[in-house]
Chains A and B, each alone.
Chain A
Amino acid sequence: MSTGGSGATDALMAPTPRPPGGDEGGPLLDVRDLHVEFRTREGTAKAVNGVDYSVNAGETLAVLGESGSGKSVTAQAIMGILDSPPGFITRGEVVFQGRDLLKLGNEERRKIRGAKMAMIFQDALSSLNPVLSVGEQLGEMFRVHRGMSRKDSRAKAIELMERVRIPAARERVKQYPHQFSGGMRQRVMIAMALALEPELIIADEPTTALDVTVQAQVMDLLAELQREYNMGLILITHDLGVVADVADKIAVMYAGRIVETSPVHDIYRAPAHPYTRGLLDSIPRLDQKGRELYAIKGLPPNLLHIPPGCAFNPRCPRAQAVCRTDEPPLYRVSEDRASACHFWKETLDDDSLPSPDA
């Protein structure tokens, strides 16, 4: 494994506090200044506008944001599964284990996909092939990447299913995705991502399609496996509740940009961006029962026409004239925090805006 990536990148993404696994220099994955746009008939939608983040081995980065904030598109660009056309990566680097993936050929990238970095998708029912048995779909990883025989790959599939605690794996390996419950299907997806013990797993809203009790089980399983294999994990979600337990650090995205990055606990204590603050305030809380739930007013911007200045300014309770004209850079808030808000200091200090705190 080469360690070419420069450690501290333009101070945008602060170096992260020691991950349990440690590592040997550069981060496992380092995304730098990534730009992705979709060229459609209506115009060019700027889905990702300069994203920087990094993940170390054994570390969990939670990427947070509303639908259309570019969090999934970033993940697809990292995996190399962006629909192109219409999607194009116009600028940036995706440095994985010291190599810029965007400079590799198709065949080299294919070999990395599934083997070194794997992805877990949101809706396991539609993401698994309906006409192939679960065993075939799991075994395929070993057959294609490792050249195993049908028989050996089946044994591996059963082993994997036991690994993610699917009961009666030996019998169920012959079954098809529609014969599994939602939670079990998502376990199959996790098993598939885990198959070749990749260094990095990207989980794109892995629990959104599940009911709440199953959500916790699946999340726990994922966190446990991640610790065990010392994998890097990018957890894409819009659920702040899920994040608190498992993430080491958080990147909040808005309109294709990272607006705040922080270690997980600091952000809950005191957000440094009004948007993060809005997200936190819109979590239902027991002590505010009976009161109207806070919601960030307005809608996310149309990516064809991102507002000038700070993209969040039309919805921001703190917006001033400067916000409508100058795009805020990612200000360094502390050693390991950053916020793209002209008024990050005020936001950080002020406890009373935008909703009265109980």
Chain B
Amino acid sequence: MRYGMVIDLTKCSRCHGCVAACRVEHFLPLHVTWVKLIAYETEDAGVVDVSTFPVRCNQCKEAPCVDVCPTGASHQRPDGIVEITASKCIGCRYCVIACPYQNRTFLSKELDPGYFPGHARTRFEEKGKKLYPHQRGTTMKCNFCLERIDYGMKNNLKPGVDRDATPACVNTCQARALTFGDLDDPESNVSKLLRERKPIQLQRELGTDPSVYYIDGKIGGKDNKAPASAQTGSHIQHLSSVEARAREVFPHLKENK
């Protein structure tokens, strides 16, 4: 068994729903995000466009972060998920350096000032501290919502199919760009997608064998833009903000007609 995720870039509407869902699910501190959207600019015949690319911990099969951890705090579960046991982490940050995907975060005091710095914690935060206590001075990252997977396994639910056993970002994705499941099961949704489409892994040449795959290799190309059917208010709102920002940075940009 090896859990993995397939991200269909042609469907992603860049709504940041996965980012928000992850933050809420794990009560993440103010300046920490486990799921990130990379922004990058492309230019086609003088027309500059900004695209996004969702990334998270790749749960590598040959994880460098696990190899370098001096205490065994970073370890791989039998289902392939790379987990950090915070109580064992000494905060050496070797894993942060060794991760080729820069998907680990060292939780310092600066990253966790409270949701409203200088004010008392909200009830939401207080609850989060009990339900999902993040330890300052240790490293953190996406864990495929393993608490949901564990809950699902105990209750005969199927991760990737049953919502209660599926990562929060996958449940939230409005465009259904994220698919989760067992990569070793040939009948799982992810395995079918991998067979039918051409998946890519990030920095495959490093031999880390990530469990997160991306559909559509035309990164940054025209085909990578979300179809009109997937565009929502939030999508358009986001794009307009990006365009406004791009014009601030590149004032010479021509009108995109």
Q: Do A and B bind each other?
A: no
Which A residues form the contact surface with B (CB < 8 A)? none
Which B residues form the contact surface with A (CB < 8 A)? none
